[in-house]
Structure 1
Amino acid sequence: MFAFVGYLVVGVGAVGAFVWWLFRTFSEKWLNAKFEERLAAYKHEQQKELEHLKFTINAQMDRATKLHQKEFEALPEAWARLMDAHGITVSLVSRYQSHPDLSRMRPDQLEDFLVHSKLAEWQRQLVRDAGDKTSAYRNQIEPFKIARARKASRKFYLYFRKNGIFIREPIKQKFDALDQLMLSALSEHEMNFQHQTREFKSIDRLASEGEKMVKALESEVQQRLWDSTRQETTN
C-alpha cells in the first residue's frame, strides 16, 4: 500500500510537473504573442503619427515657400512702380521748373519743337498765336504731365492693391505712406494749375521728407529680400 501510495504521489507529481511545463510554455507563447501584437500596433500608431507629422511639416514648408516666393516677386515690382511714380511726381510738382523759351525761338525752330510735342494741332496753333508762347505752351502741356503722373500712380496703386497681401505690414505701411504723400503733392499741384492758387504744403513736404522716406523704404525692402533669400537657402 505504501508502495502504491508512493507510486501514486510520484505519478501525480509528474503529471503536475508536466501540466506546469505545459502551462508555462503556452503562457510564455501567449504572452509573447500578445506582446508582439501590441508592439506591432504601437509601431503602427507611431508610424501613422510620424507620417501625419511629416505631412503637416511638408505642407507648412510648402506654404511658407510659396508665400516667400510671392513676397520675393511682389516687393521688387511694387518698389519699381512706386519709384517710377515718385520720379515723375517729384519732377512735375517741383517749385523749380525749367521750360524752353519758345518766344525766343526762330519760326522754324518753334515749328519743329511743336511738331514733336504731344500737343494736338489746335493746341499748337494756340501756342503759335500767343504773345507769350512759353506760357501758352506750359498751359497746354501741363495736363499731359499731370495725366502721366496720375497714370504712374494708378499703375502702382493697382499692383499694390492686388499684391500688398504678400508684403509684411511694417513695409506695407511705408509704401502706403510715401504713396499718400505723393498723391497729396500731385493733387495740390493740379489744384494750383487749375485754379491759379499757390498752395505748397504737401509739395514742400514731399521735397523735404520724400527722399528720407524713400531711403528708409529702400533699406527695409533690400533687407527683407536678402532675408528671404537666406531663409529659402536654409529651408
Structure 2
Amino acid sequence: MSWVILGTAWEWSKSVLAVLSLAGLSMGGVAYAAYALFKVLGEKWLNQKFAERLEAYKSEQARELERLRHKINSVFDRTKRLHDREYEVLPEVWSLLVDAKSWAGGYLSAFRQYADVNKLSAQELDEFLSHTRFSEAQRREIKTTSDKQKAYIKIFEMYRHYDVIEKLQEASIGLSRNGIFVVPSLREEMRKFIDLLHSAVIEHQINQEQDLRPRMREASKKLKQEGEPLFKAIEEAVAARLWDSTTAEV
C-alpha cells in the first residue's frame, strides 16, 4: 500500500517539476526541487496513512476488548448465580436427606416399643384409639379381634411405613427438583443413598407383612455396610461446598 502512495506522489511531483523546468531552472535545481518535493509530500502522505491505520487499529482493539469484557462479565454473572442457587438448595436437600435417614432408621430398628392395648379396658381402648390416625374401620378391627395387640401393631407399622415412604419421596423429589444445582458427583451419591434406604425399607415391610422366617437381610446389610460411609461422605461434601461458597476468592 505504501508503494502505491509513493507512486501517486511521484506522478504528481513530475507534473510540478515539468512546470519548474519550463520556468528555466537548471537540471540540478530541478533534481533538488524534485527530491525536496517528493520527500515532503511522501512523508506527509505516509504520516497521514499511518495515522489512519493506527486509528483503525485502535478502534478494532477497543471493540475486541469490549467484546471480551462483555463475555467475561456474562460468564462471571452466570457462575455467581449458579453458586448462589447451590448455596440455597444444598441445605434444603441435605435436610430432606437427614429426615429420610432418621425416619428410615427408626422404622428399621430392631428395638420397638408399643402400647399394650390388651391390658386396656374397653373404655380405655376406645379413648386410646381416638387419639390415633387410624380409620374407624381399623379401630373397630382392633376392638373386635381376639388378639388386639397383634392387630394394633400391624396397623401401627403400616402407618409408620407410609410415613417413611413419604419422607423418602420428599427427599427424592427435592433432589430431582434441585439436583441440577448440585455438583453431579454429590448428586449421584445422594441418589444412591436414597435408593439404599428405600430398598431396606421395602425389604423390612415384606418381612413384616409376610412374617418371613428367616428374615431377608440383604438390603439392610448393604445399607449398613455402604450407606453409613456414604452418608458420612455426603455430609463432608455438603459442608465443603457450603464453606467454599463463603470463603472462595473471586
TM-score range, shorter chain: 0.7 to 0.9
Aligned to 1:131: 146
Return the alpha-carbon distance in structure 2 between the equivalents of residues 141 and 43 of structure 1.
Answer: 80
Give the secondary structure class of the aligned counterpart of 1:98.
coil
Give the TM-score taking structure 1 as reference length.
0.86
- How far off its partner does 1:46 sit? 1.0
* Deviates most, 117-126 or 8-17: 8-17
* Deviates most, 110-119 or 209-218: 209-218
Return the alpha-carbon distance in structure 2 between the equivalents of residues 30 and 209 of structure 1.
Answer: 81
Aligned to 1:64: 79
1:186 and 2:193 are equivalent in the alignment:
no
Give the TM-score taking structure 2 as reference length.
0.81
Aligned to 1:5: none
Q: Percent identity?
A: 34
CA contact (8 A) 2:200 2:223 kept: yes
Q: What is the root-mean-square deviation of aligned Cα atoms in Å?
A: 2.2
Aligned to 1:159: 174
Give the secondary structure class of the aligned counterpart of 1:199.
coil
Residues 141-176 of structure 1: CA deviation (Å, up to 9, x unaligned): 222221121111112212222322222222122212
Aligned to 1:220: 237
Return the alpha-carbon distance in structure 2 between the equivalents of residues 132 and 78 of structure 1.
Answer: 43
Aligned to 2:9: none
Equivalence map 1:79-228=2 (5 Å): 79-197=94-212, 198-207=215-224, 209-228=226-245
- How far off its partner does 1:26 sit? 1.7
The one of 27, 32, 37 equivalent to 1:17 is 32
Aligned to 1:52: 67
CA contact (8 A) 2:93 2:174 kept: yes
Return the alpha-carbon distance in structure 2 between the equivalents of residues 230 and 194 of structure 1.
Answer: 51
Return the alpha-carbon distance in structure 1 between the equivalents of residues 220 and 144 of structure 2.
Answer: 33
What letter corresponds to residue 220 of structure 1 in structure 2? Answer: A
Return the alpha-carbon distance in structure 1 between the equivalents of residues 196 and 135 of structure 2.
Answer: 32
* Deviates most, 135-144 or 196-205: 196-205
What letter corresponds to residue 64 of structure 1 in structure 2? Answer: T
Residues 2-35 of structure 1: CA deviation (Å, up to 9, x unaligned): xxxxxx9975444443343322222121111011
CA contact (8 A) 2:172 2:191 kept: no
Alignment gaps of 5+ in structure 2: 1-22
Aligned to 2:43: 28
* Deviates most, 141-150 or 106-115: 106-115
Residues 21-80 of structure 1: CA deviation (Å, up to 9, x unaligned): 322222121111011011111111111211121122112112211221232223222211
